[in-house]
Amino acid sequence: MPRPELSLVIPIYNEEEVLPQLDGRVRELLTTLGLDAEVVFVNDGSRDRSMDLLRGMATREPRYKVVGFARNFGHQRAITAGIDHARGRAVVVMDADLQDPPEVILEMVQKWREGFDVVYGRRRKRDGETAFKLLTAKIFYRLFAAMIPIQVPLDTGDFRLMSRRVVLAMRELRETHLFVRGLVSWVGFRQCAVEYDRAARAAGETKYPLKKMISFALDGIASFSVLPLRFATYLGLLVGFASVLYATAAVLTFVVGRTVPGWTTTVVLVSFLFSVQLLVTGVLGEYVGRIYEQVKGRPLYVVGERLNLERKKKRKKKPRPSQRETSEVTVVPAVPAPAPPVPVPVPVPVPDPVGPTIQGVPTPIGLGPVVAKPDRHDA
């Protein structure tokens, strides 16, 4: 099957109220684009009728692909699953609440055709959000940008376009605690921004309450920065220096004859030092906990259902013969190899143990010739 030009990835979690509007806006976008495109919906374990509505949408529109999780795995993992299943030469990630206008994708595609690998949406203003959320988001992104060693664009979310080579690079990053917008900046390539005004949510309620926002912020900081660990080190040095100063002051007070400050000061100092220790232990625990969850090597998500998606063909393995089949196999004995020829010993000449003879008397080996002495009777 030929690869589509564009893939649209949309994570879904309890969005039954907004899905009909989303369907209409996406259809209008596909008509305006005039490209061979697909839409990958990732149902993140919704508890409402979202999956039923997605089944109906996929039945009516073959360009709609649906990936259904076996349970709720989280927004960032839903985006990752969509990227894993997207086949387009360019992939756009957007939320289902229509706060990110689908019409902005037209500008993103134009920038992509100009040669940019990543085109992210930058928010000029954000309607329908509380002042507290706007303030905390502004503080977080600036604090996050100051703490990490890479450059991350400010006032952006996950709404962005990525080229095929960026998608392939993202598929290699299987981190347990995902922070997708940071990972896209980490992989690099040519990136640019498209500014837009973020609208209010079309229907339903936000899926990011304060608790999830704090957890998301911690994931982003711990995934890209070791500065909290260094902060713990600096804090320990500072407290140690302050303790030395306090001990010096206590000794000087004792030398001049005054009493050392009593119980209240001691309790305050002990409580302060104990809180510092707990803080440092907590920072270490955050990093150690992430290491523990990463080394377990569990999959990021489990898919329970796929619609309009072709499964990857797996190589057929040769079936192993069963015990019954093995018993019916005739075993042909191997022909033994011919034995190597036995070497014939070559006779070695043995020297004669008896030497030359003189007058019939043998001469021992190693002795010189024996000279016969004349008999005195011969004289």
CATH number of the domain enclosing 161: 3.90.550.10
pLDDT band at 40 (very low <50, low <70, confident <90, very high): very high
Q: How confident is the model at residue 346 (pLDDT cuts 50, 70, 90)?
A: low
Same domain, 169 and 249: no
11 is a domain residue? yes
Radius of gyration over every alpha carbon of the chain, rounded to an integer in angstroms: 42
User: 40-44, 254-258, 344-348: lowest mean pLDDT where?
Assistant: 344-348
* Inter-residue contact 96 to 22 (CB < 8 Å): yes
Copy the structure tokens of residue 260: 């050392």
Q: Are residues 117 and 203 in the same domain?
A: yes
Per-residue burial over 72-92, b if 16 or more Cβ lie within 10 Å, else e, is bbbbbbbbbbbbbbbbbbbbb
* Claim to verify: residue 57 and residue 184 sit in the same structural domain: yes
Q: How confident is the model at residue 182 (pLDDT cuts 50, 70, 90)?
A: confident
Highest mean pLDDT among 106-110, 219-223, 293-297: 106-110
| Structural domain includes residue 348 | no
pTM of the model: 0.66
Position 155 scores a pLDDT of 74
Contact status, residue 50 vs residue 10, Cβ threshold 8 Å: no
Q: Are residues 151 and 32 in the same domain?
A: yes
pLDDT at 106 over 50: yes
Share of the chain above pLDDT 70, in %: 69
Contacts of 255 (CB under 8 A, 6+ apart): none
Is residue 236's pLDDT more than 80? Answer: no
DSSP E strand stretches across 239-342:
303-307
Coil, helix or strand at residue 20: helix
* Res 104 pLDDT > 60: yes
C-beta neighbour count of 148 within 10 angstroms: 19
Q: What is the DSSP letter of 92?
A: E
Q: CA 36, CA 44: separation in Å to the nearest integer?
A: 26
Q: How far apart are CA 39 and CA 61, in angstroms?
A: 10
Locus of tokens 């609208």: 199
How far apart CA 104 and CA 87 sit, in angstroms, is: 21
The mean pLDDT value for 154-175 works out to 86
- The burial class, CB within 10 Å (0-12 / 13-18 / 19+), for 30 is buried
Q: 117 with 257, same domain?
A: no
If asked whether residues 249 and 201 sit together in one domain, one would say no
Single residue among 276, 297, 318 that ends a domain in this structure: 297
Q: Which range marks the domain in which residue 156 is found?
A: 6-209
- The pLDDT value recorded for residue 347 is 62
Which position has the token pair 């509380």?
130
* Spatial distance between the Cα atoms of 260 and 289, rounded to a whole number of angstroms: 43
Flag whether pLDDT at 52 surpasses 60. Answer: yes
**Strands 6-12 and 90-93, sheet pairing:** parallel
Q: Are strands 156-163 and 118-126 parallel, antiparallel or unpaired?
A: antiparallel
Q: Are residues 153 and 263 in the same domain?
A: no
Q: What is the DSSP letter of 321?
A: P
Tell me which of 297, 328, 356 is where a domain ends: 297
pLDDT digits over 320-336, tens only?
544 444 344 444 455 55
Alpha carbon distances (Å) from 83 to 78, 164, 208, 241, 344: 9, 10, 21, 51, 77
User: What pLDDT is recorded for position 42?
Assistant: 93
225 near 123, Cβ under 8 Å?
A: no
Least confident of 64-78, 158-172, 193-207, 275-289: 193-207
Measured in degrees and rounded to the nearest 5, phi and psi for residue 223 equal -80, -20
Residues 231 and 150 in one domain: no
Number of structural domains in the chain: 2
pLDDT band with cut points at 50, 70 and 90 for residue 41: very high
Q: Taking 60 as the threshold, does the pLDDT of residue 46 lie above it?
A: yes
222 domain residue, yes or no: no
Question: Are residue 105 and residue 183 in the same domain, yes or no?
Answer: yes
The answer, yes or no, to whether residue 360 has pLDDT greater than 60, is: no
Does residue 233 form part of some domain?
Answer: yes
- Same domain? For 118 and 251 the reply is no
Question: Strands (DSSP E) along 127-169, which ranges?
Answer: 156-163
Query: What size, in residues, is the chain?
Result: 379
Nearest to 177 by CA among 292, 276, 290, 8: 290
Give the three-state DSSP class for 94: coil
> For tokens 């649209």, what's the residue?
8
